[in-house]
Amino acid sequence: MVEKIVPIVREAGRIVLSAHDVASQTHEKTSAADLVTEYDLAVEKFLKEKLPPLMPGSIFFGEEEAENAGPDHGWAFIVDPIDGTTNFVRHLRQSAISVALACDGRVEYGVVYDPYRDEMFTAERGGGAFLNGRPIRVSARPLAEGIFGMGTAIYDREYIGATMRVTEQLFRRSCDFRRMGAAALDLCYVACGRYDAFFEYILSPWDYAAASLVVTEAGGFICRMDGSPLSVTRRGSAWASNDVNKDILKELDVTV
């Protein structure tokens, strides 16, 4: 299945790379921080046409146009056409296409593609995680020698205080941190050892569904900030790390 999804996602990446005059094709959804472009819509339309035939009877659950049925029963493609839209609009070249295929709410296949770097992260449950076809593993670095990534929950400003508090706690334990603006890539960076941990207080299932499998298949750990499992049916927080750092979460003040 991954081999069937990858060429479709790579072709969708060409739509992203073809983008021009993006600012004039950008609209606000709920706020100035919550944007959608004509390219988001074009990529999602393309993926909605190409992906479901790979698994007859599946539903399509996308950021811009989710079907009425949720992804908790049967087979479902969970898709973010452009993760990091704000980066995309500002030509920061840190965005990705994220495609997960889940069965009864459990992700079985995950593909995250950065078209700018031509980096294709893939995973199949029980089959390992890969970057451009080569196996990847999380790092073995303790956070004291490493860096972490974080997101700022820009659509839900009530989490600013908690986000900054956790960032300070982790920063004091680490060498440095990064805030890149595309959670799917941030999670994949944990999977391939570029980051040693990552957190964000509010994400949607399409932000993390595919990348969560990449993390676990790379030997990493991922859960909610309260330690509970992720869900592909509802929004929530995410904490990901290598095995060395997973227990740090229990030592943090994560209250909102």
Count the Cβ atoms, other than its own, within 10 Å of residue 9.
26
| 3-class secondary structure, 214 | helix
20 and 129: one domain? yes
CATH code for position 80 = 3.30.540.10
Would 237 be classed as within a structural domain?
yes
Would you give per-residue pLDDT tens digits along the chain (256 residues)?
999 999 999 999 999 999 887 766 666 555 555 567 888 899 999 999 999 999 999 999 987 765 555 688 899 999 999 999 889 999 999 999 999 999 999 999 999 999 999 999 999 999 999 999 999 999 999 999 999 999 998 778 899 999 999 999 999 999 999 999 999 999 999 999 999 999 999 999 999 999 999 999 999 999 999 999 999 988 999 999 999 999 999 999 999 8
149 and 101: one domain? no
Beta-sheet strands, E only, within 84-203: 96-103, 106-114, 119-124, 128-131, 134-135, 147-150, 176-178, 197-203
101 and 183: one domain? no
pLDDT of residue 103: 96
21 membership: H or E segment, kind and range: none
Q: Helices 183-191 and 205-217: crossing angle, nearest 10°?
A: 10
Bridge partners, residue 119, by sequence: 114
Question: Which domain-ending residue is among 84, 115, 135?
Answer: 135
Would 256 be classed as within a structural domain?
no
91 and 178: one domain? no
- Token pair listed for 162: 């908690």
18 and 129: one domain? yes
Would 111 be classed as within a structural domain?
yes
Count the Cβ atoms, other than its own, within 10 Å of residue 155.
15
Domain that holds residue 227: 143-251
Would 163 be classed as within a structural domain?
yes
Rounded to the nearest 10 degrees, how much is the dihedral formed by the CA atoms of 151, 154, 159, 165?
40
Smallest Cα–Cα separation from 116: which of 150, 82, 152? 82
CATH code for position 246 = 3.40.190.80
| Count: domains in the chain | 2
| 3-class secondary structure, 158 | helix
Distance (Å, rounded) from C-alpha 250 to C-alpha 246?
8
Distance (Å, rounded) from C-alpha 221 to C-alpha 163?
20
Query: C-alpha distances in angstroms, 50 versus 54, 167, 205?
Result: 8, 40, 20
